[in-house]
Homo-oligomer: A and B are copies of this chain.
Amino acid sequence: MLTFQKALELINMEIQHIDYPKEPGSLYEPMAYLLTLNGKRIRPVFTLLACNLYKEDVNEAVPMAVAWEIFHNFTLMHDDVMDKAAMRRGNPTVHQKWNENTAILSGDAMLILAYMYLAKSSSGHLKSLLDLFSDTASGICQGQEYDMQFENRPDVTENEYVEMIRLKTAILLGASLKSGAMIGGASEKDCNRLYDVGINLGLAFQIQDDLLDVFGDPLIFGKKIGSDILCNKKTYLLVNALSTSGGKEKKELLFWLNAHDKGPEKIKAVTDLYTRLHVKEKAREKMNQYYDKAIQAFQSIDVEENKKSVLMNLADELMDRES
């Protein structure tokens, strides 16, 4: 049975040997830079582990797994341009280290490279993997567009927020698992169940991200606490606070949303408001609901219980993470 460690090694080995066209370097160096910046490789590992539920030899799933990782990094490269982000995984973003045009063009070439890896999959699965990949990629663009639109909207509902994170982050986890199952030869039913597992895990992980940004342990959390608050990012917490508060608290919240020059003071005030409005508890509850749904879907798949432990443990660990 494939361990997490072994899956990670298979992925990293393949990523180390990506055959980038050598010229011009300014087009390909940014891809290699971003791809080797210590990503967690959750998506490609999901693909291999899902494949391994149905098939001992997962080599056939490696190109597809790497395609997801390349694709994920493409979205980071372009999202960082759009969000004008300076740092990524503790290092300068591509458009900071090079420039914006390089980040746009390298990102384009990276999306194409992801399709090149997908195309290495065996011909029997090619068409269905291609459709899954394009549908997922297209949905993620929709999610990013909603995310940008939400920046300027004070009236985002919880349902709209959930739909945005479903598109922007959850469907990629769903598709990573599903593609592995497809290559492993799973039934259509199991493929769809694993897609649901990924969707619900993705939603749970994103709400967890939102929580960690505000309530994480500053010593363990890799990024600065409160950065979402500082830039008024529409998180589950903020959307919930905006929709459930009224009177004095709503007024206070709107005041702080309009305060752009207050650093630690704003973080403290908004965090206090979140506490008074119990949005922390509500977010935790929602997160746990999605996680439970994921586990239920995972339990329903038609695979011997002992084979499920690696993916199960990985999901548990990801849910327990503090950074």
Contacts and interface: CB of A to CB of B under 8 A. Distances in A.
Given A27-B142, A146-B24, A149-B24, A119 B101 contact: no
A134 B67 CA distance: 13
A171 interface: no
Given A24-B145, A108-B78, A127 B134 contact: no
Interface in A95-125: 101-102, 104-105, 107-109, 111-113, 115-116, 119, 123
A116 B134 contact: yes
A26 interface: yes
A35 to B, nearest CB: 16
Interface in A60-118: 78, 81-82, 101-102, 104-105, 107-109, 111-113, 115-116
Most chain B Cβ neighbours within 10 Å, of A21, A101, A107, A123: A101
A192 to B, nearest CB: 20
Contacts of A295: none
Contacts of A130: 115, 119, 126, 130
A132 to B, nearest CB: 10
A203 interface: no
A138 interface: yes
Contacts of A134: 112, 115-116, 119
Contacts of A108: 78, 107-108, 111, 141
A150 to B, nearest CB: 11
Interface string A195-210: 0000000000000000
A317 interface: no
Contacts of A144: 105
Interface residues of A, number: 36
Given A119-B131, A127-B123, A130-B115, A138 B21 contact: yes
A183 interface: no
Contact of A82 (B105, B115, B141, B145): B105
Contacts of A112: 111, 134, 137-138, 141
A304 interface: no
Contacts of A111: 108, 111-112
A23 B142 contact: yes
Contacts of A107: 108
B142 A24 contact: yes
Interface in A252-305: none
A148 interface: yes
A145 to B, nearest CB: 4
A131 B130 CA distance: 12
A144 B26 CA distance: 11
Most chain B Cβ neighbours within 10 Å, of A78, A82, A142, A145: A145
Q: Which 3 A-B pairs have the closest CB atoms?
A: A109-B141, A27-B145, A82-B101
9 contacts: A78-B104, A112-B137, A113-B138, A116-B134, A119-B127, A119-B130, A119-B131, A123-B127, A126-B130
